[in-house]
Amino acid sequence: MNYILDGLRRALELLWGGDPETFSAVWTTLVVTFEAMAATLLVGAPAGFLLGYAEFPGKRAARLVVETFLSFPTVVIGLVVYAFISRRGPLGEWGLLFTVPGMAVGLTILGLPIVIALTAQAVENLDPRLRPTLLTLGARPRHVFWTTVTEARFGMLLAATAAFGRIVSEIGISMMLGGNIKWDTRTITTAIALETGKGEFATGIALGIVLMVIAFAVNLVAAACRGRSAA
C-alpha cells in the first residue's frame, strides 16, 4: 500500500512542479484529440443526421456497415491506416507515419462510426409526427431541418462526448501510428503504458490523474450545455 501512496505523492509533485515530459504528453494528447474530434464531427455529424433523417436506397446496408465498425478492433484500424500511410503505402509520400496528423487520421476513423451511429439514432428517436406537423404548419425545408437538429441536440451531444472518450483514451492506434516518440508523438495513454512498464509508477499516476481531469472537464461542459439548453 505504501508504494501506491508514494506514487500518488510523487505524481502530485510532478504535476505541481510542471514536469516538462509529463506536460509534453498532455499537450500532444490535447492536440491530436482536437484534430481527430474536429474531423470526426465535421464528417460524422452530417452523415449521421442524413442516415437517420433521409430515406434512400441502401440505407439499411449503410446502417449495418456503420454498426459493424462500432465493434471493429482498434488494432485492425491501426494496421489498415499504417499500411496506407507507411512509405510503401499509397499515401506514403505525405509523410504522415509517426506524426500527430497521422495519429489523428486513425483516431478519426475510430470516432466516426460512434458519431454517425449515435446521431442517426438520436434523429430516428424523435417523434415521427414532428416533420408532418411542421410541414402542415407551412414550415419550409430549412425550418424543418433546423427544428429537427434542435430536437436531436442532446443525442448529438452524447455522440460527441462518447467519441471524445473513445478517442482520448485510445492507446493501440496512437502507439502504432505515432510510434510513442518522446517530445513528439507520446500521448498520455502511451506514456502511461511505457512508464508503468518501466516501473515509473508515479509518472503513470500523474498522467492518469490528468486524463481523468480532462474527461471530467469535458463531461462537465457537456452537462452544463444540456442544462442550459433545457432551461
Length in residues, the chain: 231
Residue 59 to residues 63, 70, 111, 125, Cα–Cα distance (Å)? 6, 17, 20, 16
- 129, 79 contact by CB (below 8 A): no
3-state secondary structure of 152: coil
DSSP annotation of 93: G
What confidence score (pLDDT) does residue 10 get?
73
Q: What is Dmax (Cα atoms) for the chain?
A: 70
What confidence score (pLDDT) does residue 59 get?
86
What confidence score (pLDDT) does residue 198 get?
82
What confidence score (pLDDT) does residue 154 get?
86
Residue 226 to residues 118, 128, 223, Cα–Cα distance (Å)? 17, 23, 5
pLDDT tens across the length of the chain (231 residues): 666 677 677 777 777 777 788 889 889 999 999 999 999 999 999 999 989 888 888 888 999 999 888 888 899 999 999 999 998 889 988 989 999 999 999 999 999 999 999 999 998 888 777 777 777 777 777 777 788 888 888 889 999 999 999 999 999 999 999 988 988 999 999 988 888 888 777 777 888 888 888 888 888 888 887 766 555
Amino acid at 165: G
> Whole-model pTM?
0.88
- 106, 175 contact by CB (below 8 A): no
Residue 190's closest CA among 38, 110, 198? 198
What confidence score (pLDDT) does residue 184 get?
92
Please compute, for residue 54, the number of CA atoms within 13 A of its CA located in the half-sphere on the CB side: 13
Cell numbers of 74, please?
482498434
